Structures are given as structure tokens and as C-alpha cells.
């Protein structure tokens, strides 16, 4: 293997048979390139799912009011369902073993002013638990607390971009802003990984919003954070119990799917994980098929190579070469070509994934596509190993041919 004469002979053979060498190398490189690309894209898609779900809590469900589609217990269909403060109280009382927190959400649009600056923003009336549902990051000050809700205080937690729009380089903490005609004190500034829209909002106590709106007890949506230790099965059981409970409470037909809607993030996460898992299996099967195709391709080329060199093998044996030395030279040449080509295909594939990463995210929502170096190297070595074994059979068969028969070969 380390004979200088052997390697000189191998390089001489490669130079004399450039087309054959290129075809052999291309088969290997293409196989590894496709494998790296498929696995990398699948990993990128899984990264996308994880990124979008990491922006908010996953142990949370959102309950949205709807309009009934069936009559029930004397109530007509098309009845608008509304949530009220006592719904929050009853859920806390009847489901304490499931709950970590519960918060209403009351969305309103308002013109917000500070001195000469003004803009329209979304204001959201919430309780303290909303901070955990949205994974809100406090940059300055504090979030809404229970005392704010209890006392209906006029305080506001504003987004980073709201502060930037209204205050410029000034510190907004402790300043008073006009929110739709009511004066609120800024007690906190937050940032949110969800993007610019999330940072152009204001949070106020939901009781303060109700006070402004003639002391109503109506709320828009309900956000429920459940205990993480429930797991997926526990979260789904909680959802079923909650749906039944609210339908009974609001006199909604048990078969009516339109009275209200529940978005369970844990369920959505599980569905996306299952989908990503199926894609990973499909990609793995295709990638495995690519490796098999590469092995078959190498085997076919090796059959052709050995057949082409039958007469050369006969001459070698006639001058005293052993079958083992004949086979070793042919296989060493094959291993050399497949190794260089395989790692070249692997490097090109990984470089393409790295180069196209940002563009793929912008156009196809594939985040940080890539493949572990260990997996890529292992796949390349497997292709080289089995490709060499595939070439061993025809090489061994040719080495058994008697010199006189090989020399007669056309």
C-alpha cells in the first residue's frame, strides 16, 4: 500500500483514463452532496419549527370567543359568546391542579401621545401572567403586578419601539403618556423576540381597561398557562375538561364547535414535531437511497474498469504478479478516487448549506440548514467502504482468470 511504485502506477493509470476517473468521482461526489443537502434541509426545517415555538411559552392555551351554530336549552343559534371576569375566577377555582397562571386579553387600538410625538398602537389589557405566556423580556422597570390589577392603576408597560418612537433617546421611565385620552404612567419597557410588531404594543392592567370602558366586566380572550409537568397527554386532557366545563357554563351545545375556540400550543408543537419527524424519515430514506445508488454506481464502474483492464491483468500475472497484488492495486486506486471525491462532495454540500442559509430562511423559512460533521463524515466513509467492497468482487473474479485467457480478451 505504501509502495512508491504502486502509487506511481495508480497516478499514471488515472492520467491515462481521465474520463473514467471523472465519472467515478462524480458518482461519489453527487451521492454525498445529495445526502448532505437533504439532511441539512431537514434539520433547517426542524430548526424553523423550534424557533417559532420558542418565541412564546409552549405550556399555554388561548381561548377565543365565537358564535354558536346550534340552538341549545332555549338559546338560539348565532349567539355571540362573551367571557367575563367570573370566568377567570371559576377556572382558577375548579382547575387549580392544572394552572400556573391565567390572564385575560383585551385588545384595543389607541392613539398614544407624548408631548409632540404620537402614533397609533395596540393596547392590551392583561394580568401578570401574560408576561410568561409571551416570554416578555423586561429591559427597564417592571411588568404589571397583582396590585396594579387589584387597584386598577393607570400604568403602562411599553414596547421597545414604542419608547423609541415617542421618546427618542430619552428615558421613558416615570413619564406620563396619553393613551386614547387617558393618562398612564410608564413603569416598564420590554422587548420581544417575536419581532417589531410585538414591540409596538402597550400592556395595561385589564381592570383599568374595563374601568375606562364604563366599568364593564367583559374580557376578550383567556390565556391559560398550565403546568409543564402535565406533558402532552395531560395538556390534552386539561383541554378536553376545560372545553366541556365552558360549554356547560355558557349553555353551548356539546357538539357545537363554533361557540369558542381553543388554541393549545402544546398540541400545535406536537403536530409540528410529528410532521418534522415524518419529513426526517422521508429525507433519511431518500438519503439512504442516494447512498445505495452511489454504491451501485461505483460497482458498475468497477465492473467496467476491471473488464477494460483484463488484458493488463493477464500481463501482470504472466510476469509473476499474484492475484492478491493485482486486486490490491485495483482496489487502492478505487479507494483513492472515492475518498477524494467523497470528501470533496461533502465539503461542497456543507459549504452550499452554509452559504445559502440566510437566503433559504428569507424565501423558504428554513433556518440554519446544516448537518453534523460526524454524520457527514460517517456517510462518506460508508459510501467509500461499500463502494470498495462492491468493486472487490469483479476484481477478484478477474484476478482468477488465467494469463493466457486474459491475454486473448478483446
Burial status of residue 29 (CB atoms within 10 A of its CB: 0-12, 13-18, 19 or more): buried
**Taking 90 as the threshold, does the pLDDT of residue 292 lie above it?**
no
Contact 301, 27 (CB under 8 A): yes
In this predicted structure, the answer to whether residue 242 has a pLDDT above a threshold of 90 is yes
What is this structure's pTM?
Answer: 0.73
Gap between the Cα atoms of 154 and 211, Å rounded: 10
Tell me the three cell numbers of residue 240.
378536553
- Give the burial class of 130: count Cβ atoms within 10 A of its Cβ; 0-12 exposed, 13-18 middle, 19 or more buried: buried
The three three-digit cell numbers of residue 152, written as one number: 386598577
Residue with the bigger pLDDT between 135 and 368: it is 135
Alpha-carbon distances, residue 396 vs 9, 150, 194, 392 (angstroms)? 19, 87, 63, 6
Q: What is the pLDDT of residues 327-348, one digit of tens each?
A: 777 777 778 888 888 889 899 9
Q: C-alpha dihedral over 382, 384, 386, 392, to 10 degrees? A: -160
Of these ranges, 9-18, 232-241, 332-341, the one predicted with the greatest mean pLDDT is 232-241
In the numeric block, the cell 452559504 is attached to 355
For residue 154 the three cell numbers come to 393607570
In the chain, what percentage of residues exceed pLDDT 90? 48
Per residue in 128-137, pLDDT (tens digit) is 999 999 889 9
Show Cβ contacts of residue 271 under 8 Å, excluding neighbours closer than 6 positions.
none
Q: H or E segment at 123?
A: strand 117-126
Extract the C-alpha cell encoding 408: 486473448
Q: Using CA atoms, how far apart are residues 125 and 61, in angstroms rounded to an integer?
A: 18
d(CA 38, CA 337): 24
Amino acid at each position: 500500500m505504501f509502495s512508491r511504485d504502486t502509487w506511481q502506477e495508480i497516478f499514471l493509470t488515472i492520467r491515462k483514463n481521465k474520463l473514467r476517473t471523472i465519472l467515478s468521482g462524480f458518482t461519489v461526489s453527487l451521492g454525498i452532496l445529495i445526502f448532505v443537502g437533504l439532511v441539512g434541509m431537514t434539520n433547517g426545517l426542524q430548526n424553523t419549527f423550534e424557533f417559532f415555538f420558542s418565541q412564546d411559552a409552549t405550556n399555554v392555551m388561548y381561548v377565543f370567543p365565537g358564535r354558536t351554530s346550534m340552538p341549545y336549552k332555549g338559546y338560539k343559534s348565532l349567539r355571540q359568546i362573551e367571557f367575563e371576569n367570573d370566568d377567570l375566577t371559576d377556572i382558577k377555582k375548579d382547575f387549580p391542579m392544572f394552572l400556573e397562571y391565567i390572564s385575560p386579553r383585551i385588545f384595543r387600538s389607541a392613539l398614544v401621545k407624548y408631548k409632540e410625538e404620537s402614533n397609533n398602537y395596540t393596547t392590551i389589557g392583561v394580568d401578570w401572567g401574560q408576561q410568561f405566556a409571551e416570554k416578555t423580556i423586561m429591559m427597564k422597570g417592571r411588568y404589571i403586578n397583582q396590585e396594579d390589577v387589584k387597584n386598577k392603576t393607570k400604568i403602562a408597560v411599553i414596547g421597545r419601539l414604542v419608547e423609541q418612537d415617542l421618546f427618542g433617546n430619552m428615558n421613558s421611565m416615570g413619564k406620563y403618556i396619553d393613551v386614547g385620552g387617558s393618562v398612564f404612567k410608564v413603569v416598564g419597557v420590554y422587548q420581544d423576540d417575536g419581532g417589531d410588531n410585538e414591540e409596538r404594543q402597550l400592556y395595561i392592567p385589564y381592570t383599568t381597561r374595563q374601568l375606562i370602558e364604563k366599568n364593564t366586566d367583559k374580557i376578550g380572550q383567556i390565556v391559560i398557562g398550565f403546568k409543564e409537568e402535565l406533558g402532552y397527554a395531560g395538556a390534552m386532557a386539561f383541554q378536553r375538561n376545560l372545553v366541556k366545563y365552558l360549554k356547560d357554563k355558557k349553555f353551548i351545545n356539546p357538539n357545537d364547535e363554533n361557540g369558542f375556540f381553543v388554541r393549545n400550543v402544546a398540541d400545535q408543537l406536537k403536530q409540528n414535531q410529528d410532521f418534522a419527524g415524518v419529513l426526517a424519515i422521508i429525507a433519511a430514506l431518500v438519503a439512504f437511497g442516494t447512498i445505495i445508488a452511489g454504491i451501485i454506481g461505483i460497482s458498475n464502474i468497477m465492473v467496467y474498469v476491471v473488464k477494460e483492464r483484463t488484458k493488463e491483468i493477464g500481463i501482470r500475472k504472466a510476469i509473476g504478479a499474484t492475484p492478491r497484488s493485482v486486486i490490491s492495486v485495483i482496489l487502492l486506486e478505487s479507494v483513492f478516487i472515492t475518498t477524494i471525491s467523497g470528501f470533496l462532495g461533502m465539503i461542497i454540500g456543507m459549504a452550499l448549506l452554509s452559504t445559502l442559509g440566510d437566503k433559504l430562511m428569507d424565501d423558504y423559512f428554513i433556518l440554519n440548514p446544516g448537518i453534523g460533521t460526524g454524520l457527514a463524515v460517517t456517510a462518506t466513509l460508508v459510501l467509500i467502504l461499500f463502494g470498495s467492497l462492491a468493486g472487490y468482487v469483479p476484481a477478484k473474479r478477474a484476478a482468477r482468470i488465467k494469463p493466457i485467457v486474459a491475454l486473448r480478451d478483446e
